[in-house]
Amino acid sequence: MTQYPSLPTDSRAAHAAIAGYEYQFDKTALTLLSAANTHVVQIEGIEDIDLHTGLRSEAVQVKYFAGQTYSSPKSLRDPVRLMLEHYKTGARWDYVLHVHFGNFGVMPDCFDVTLLKQSLTKKPRTGEVMEYFAGVNDVDLDDFCSRLRIIRGDSFEEQETALIAALRTAVGCDDDEVVAIYLAKAREFVHERARSDESSVRSATRQELIDWLTVKDFLFDKWQMQKIGADRYRAAQKRKLRSAEFHKTTKKRAIYLEISTDNFDETVSLCEVLARKHLGRLKSALPWTIIVGGTPDLVRKLKIELVRSGITFNDGHEDLEFQPRAFIANPVINTRGAGDRIERSSFILRLVTQDSFRMLEPSQFKISRFVSIGDEQNWMGDTADQVFALRHFEPVVYKQLMEEIA
């Protein structure tokens, strides 16, 4: 199990140490994604990664020496010594040393007893020679060597590319979405588990990682957005919305908006866009439902602005007394001539406060696709088949994104 010392004061040494930890965590995520559903991966177990298949156990040490050259078996002394110490307890695991050198030189992919002894012999300039294999006979050392594999690890960038490909396959999306969303979430999963003192928490399966990646909240921290750029992040969110069929006009779609004085103008504009998109569509199209939070004065002001803009909306008479039957009723529409496109409609938008909407039973008005501007709230999952939360954007960007999806 990796020990986390204080980072060296030299900046280059500190950078190498951090890169080593990140390299290890990416390798852990790759191990999880390539594991069978019945396999269990112990993060920071006996070694950095312990893989239990039911038939055998494998301990993997991950080392990243990008600034070093493999020169002799002694270059691998420390990780091999730790593995032999575990073997000496009577364990008969398999062992893997996954190591990256800037220059691999003549690094072998396995040791025989002679190479193992060379690796584990330390000859200081002064003092006694240290033989870390002392007390283990040659038969057992040979058995240990038969269990030990030395793998040439990819560079940090090559391994990251492999992780992106594995995530793309596991989640079913493209590379941009992986970089924008799932790469950070996979790393977060490993980081959170690795930090725990509880062995049970550090135990994980492939399915647990997949579940973590595919929960309803498709978000990641602001630093990741800043890293890839707002445009790529927005494009990834748009693709995710479309792949989840948020653009389908025949689905009952809703959006939650929290009104404030700072975003009021953009909120009015977004409501107008979603409403006007309804006209001219096929008569099978359903109008958007907009659920708003905010002070009564701001909600009233929003409705006044929409009336002035000629937007007809259905609020279930909530300003008098909310009537669920009136709210869920379908609009009366007129089509163009003998065609199927909507020319006029008794309303082109449903608009209601959160308090009124939550008076509805899900069986009365079940939302198919629900967009939350901001964090997903607990009540949303009960009212919709699928919830997608958007955040980190400026108000004007929400409007642009939803206009493209609407």
Q: Per mean pLDDT, which range of 8-17, 56-65, 210-219, 351-360 is the poorest?
A: 8-17
Q: Per mean pLDDT, which range of 143-147, 244-248, 357-361, 398-402 is the poorest?
A: 398-402
CB pairs under 8 A, 24+ apart, for 179-184? 179/228, 179/232, 179/236, 180/220, 180/224, 180/228, 180/232, 180/233, 180/235, 180/236, 180/237, 181/218, 181/219, 181/220, 181/236, 181/240, 182/213, 184/220, 184/221, 184/224
Distance CA 98, CA 156 (A): 13
Question: Distance from CA of residue 261 to its chain's centroid?
Answer: 33
pLDDT confidence of residue 268: 94
322 contacts 359 by C-beta, under 8 angstroms: yes
pLDDT confidence of residue 220: 47
Mean pLDDT within 272-285: 92
pLDDT confidence of residue 404: 87
272 contacts 307 by C-beta, under 8 angstroms: no
What per-residue string of b and e applies to 166-199 under the rule 16 or more CB within 10 Å gives b? bbbebbebeebbbbbbbbbbbbbbbeebbeeeee
Per-residue pLDDT band for 293 (boundaries 50, 70, 90) equals very high
| Inter-CA distances, 166 with 68, 163, 237, 301, Å | 28, 5, 20, 50
Mean pLDDT within 55-61: 95
**For the chain, domain boundaries:** 11-213, 222-405
Task: Enumerate residues 6+ apart whose C-beta is below 8 A from 383.
Answer: 254, 357, 358, 360, 362, 365, 366, 367, 370
pLDDT confidence of residue 157: 95
Distance CA 45, CA 67 (A): 27
What pLDDT, in 10s, does the model give residues 167-196?
Answer: 999 988 888 878 878 898 899 999 999 999
Other CB atoms within a 10 A radius of the CB of residue 305 amount to 17
Mean pLDDT within 57-66: 96
**Residue type at position 187:** R
Q: What is the CATH number of domain 222-405?
A: 3.40.309
pLDDT confidence of residue 184: 87
Provide the percentage of residues in the chain whose pLDDT is more than 90.
68
Of residues 17 and 385, more confidently modeled: 385
Residue 179 has which token pair?
């970089």
Distance CA 340, CA 168 (A): 40
Residue 301 has which token pair?
């002001």
pLDDT confidence of residue 217: 43
Distance CA 27, CA 100 (A): 12
Distance CA 245, CA 166 (A): 24
